[in-house]
Structure 1
Amino acid sequence: MGLVIKAALGALVVVLIGLLSKTKNYYIAGLIPLFPTFALIAHYIVASERGIDAMRTTIVFSMWSIIPYFIYLATLWYFSGVMRLPVALGGAVVCWG
C-alpha cells in the first residue's frame, strides 16, 4: 500500500475524530482509535510487507499493549479531575510508559 494512501487513511480518521468530537455523542470520538479499522489496516500492511509470522508477532505485541493503555486511560480519568488538561495528559503519558 502506498505511503500516500496510508497518510490519506490516517488523515481521514483524524477528521472523523474531529467531527465526532463536536456532536452530542462526542464520547464516540474516543472510541474511534479502538475500532478494528486501524488494526485491519496495520495487520494487512504488516502481513503483505513482512509475512504472516510478522503479523502474528504484531498481534501478540498488540494484546500486551492493552494493559498500559488501560493504565493511561485510568490515570487520565483521575488526573483530569484534579489537574489542568495539559498536565493531566502529560502525567497519564508518564504512567503509560
Structure 2
Amino acid sequence: MNLVIKCVAAVIIMIGVHFVSKTKNFYIAGLVLGFPGLSIIAYYFMYREQGALKVRMTTHFAMLAVIPFLCFLVALNFALKKNNIFYSILISSVVWIVLSLVVIFIWNKKSFI
C-alpha cells in the first residue's frame, strides 16, 4: 500500500507539472518539481518504520544532494545553448552522476559531520 501511495503522489506531481507548463507562467513548473510531495511521504513512512534519527540523517544527506541537482540544472542550461534536448539531458545527467558519486564518497567519510 505504501508503494501505491508514493506512485499516486508522483503521478499527481507530474500532472501538475504538465498543466502548469502549458500556461503563460510555464516557468512555475520548475517550482512544482521542487515541491517535496514525494519527500513528505517518504519521510513520513521512514519515520514510522525507522524513527526520527534515520529521518534526520537522511535530511542531512539530502541537503548535500542539492549540490548535484543544482549543477545538473546549470549544466542543462548551458548545454541547451549548443545541443538538442537529448544531448543536453545526457550531458547534465553525467554531471549529476559524477557529483552524486562525490557526495556519496564525502558522506561515507563523515569526518566533517
Same fold (TM over 0.5): yes
CA distance in 1, matches of 2:2, 2:37: 17
What RMSD over aligned residues (CA atoms) do the two structures have, in Å?
1.4
Aligned equivalent of 1:44: 44
CA distance in 2, matches of 1:49, 1:19: 35
Q: Which has the higher contact order (CA 8 A, sep 6+)?
A: 2
Count of matched residue positions in the alignment of Structure 1 and Structure 2? 97
CA distance in 2, matches of 1:37, 1:8: 11
> How many percent of aligned residue pairs carry the same amino acid?
33
* 1:45-88 C-alpha deviation (Å, 9 max, x unpaired): 21112111110111011000011111101110000111011000
Secondary structure at the aligned position of 2:80 is classed as helix
CA deviation after TM superposition for structure 1 residue 3, in Å: 2.2
CA deviation after TM superposition for structure 1 residue 41, in Å: 2.1
Gaps of 5+ in 2: 98-113
Q: TM-score, normalised by structure 2?
A: 0.78
* Deviates further, 72-81 or 34-43: 34-43
Aligned equivalent of 2:72: 72
